[in-house]
Amino acid sequence: MSTDLSEPEGRGTGAGKLILFGEHAVVYGAPAIVAGLPDGARAVARPTSSETSTLTFDATREPSSEPTSKTERDTVERAFRAICEVFDDRLDGPVEVTVTVDLPIGVGLGSSAAFSVAIARALADWTGADDHIERGVEAGESVFHGNPSGIDQLAATEGGLHFFTNSDPLQATSLDSPDLEVGICVAGPPASTREMVENVARRREHEPDLFEHLELLIGDVARAASAALREGDEARIGELMDINHGALASLGVTTSELDEACHVAREAGARGAKLTGAGGGGCICALLPDGDHSVLEAWRDRGWSAACYQL
Ligand code: MEV
């Protein structure tokens, strides 16, 4: 079946994500916990008279919601083409896609998965090829990440809070937790997830046994956190976030800015804090005491941008 061009356009959205526990170790099979964010990406797909499919960014938010460097633009363009290719058998010709990303890019909040999901859903909405969405997203994510665990894709597609294991088949259990207030601080410059995952893989080759211990530790922390989340035990969740950050430091993915932002958060009363996502820059997250936004103020006083999300 081919595209019904009488349909004026297709629309799709994808959610951003916050990894609360288990990044990097999840690539090697340890469980992790992820939450979808209310901000993400939106895409609109329309027919075009151009000779090739085109991608346009509609940037709405600071610090940056569109790729800036040539390398970033090339990567995004390749991911876009990879997604479109999956829909080739259902598209009559080139397509024009406009994407709005409501998250800062490259800081660990899942903008790339949100981008891929929004575009794949917009193309599916337009062509009726819902069964192509998963493959379309995987095609985009492989360009961004190389070897993604699937955790970003899960959050971008489903939203909500999940306990996730990168097994064959992938396993995801939805977690019920009392409302939590989590602060997010953009403390470092954007970093490439692909490079950070490759750095960990290289370090792991030199220290396979020690890295395996660290991954087991991070997995145990995620298991303990899933119980603490269900019980709403905020003191324990915070403590586990601190431990997880220490293990991520041992994997070599933190930076002095991310460490400092964690210290600032703890001193301002956070129950716990850790980097989130691939590290090397980007964001940290902190569990905030109920209704107390001193942590956000402390971050902003240092010149970092900060936001608060209810999970
Ligand atoms: C990136 O958001 C999370 C990592 O664990 C990579 C992955 O799971 O694909 C660093």
Residue tagged 């970033």 (tokens):
72
pLDDT at res. 70: 84
Regarding the beta carbon of 30 and ligand 1, being less than 6 Å apart is answered: no
Determine the Cα–Cα distance for residues 268 and 284; give it in Å rounded to an integer: 15
Calculate mean pLDDT across residues 2-19. Answer: 81
Are 97 and 45 contacting, i.e. CB atoms less than 8 angstroms apart? yes
In one-letter notation, the amino acid at residue 181 is E
Of the pLDDT bands very low, low, confident and very high (cuts 50, 70, 90), residue 62 is: low
- Domain segments of the chain as ranges: 10-174, 181-310
What pTM does this model have?
0.93
Cα–Cα–Cα angle for 14, 37, 195, rounded to 5 degrees: 75
125 counts as catalytic: no
Of the pLDDT bands very low, low, confident and very high (cuts 50, 70, 90), residue 72 is: confident
pLDDT tens-digit series, residues 151-183: 999 999 999 999 999 998 899 999 998 889 999
- pLDDT greater than 50 at residue 63: no
Which residue CA neighbors atom 2 of ligand 1 most closely? 277
Regarding the beta carbon of 148 and ligand 1, being less than 6 Å apart is answered: yes
Of the pLDDT bands very low, low, confident and very high (cuts 50, 70, 90), residue 61 is: low
Please state which CATH number belongs to domain 181-310: 3.30.70.890
Cα–Cα–Cα angle for 279, 140, 252, rounded to 5 degrees: 15
Q: Is 10-174 CATH 1.20.1250.20?
A: no
- CB neighbour burial string for 261-285, b if at least 16 within 10 angstroms, e if fewer: bbebbbebebbbbbbbbbbbbbbbb
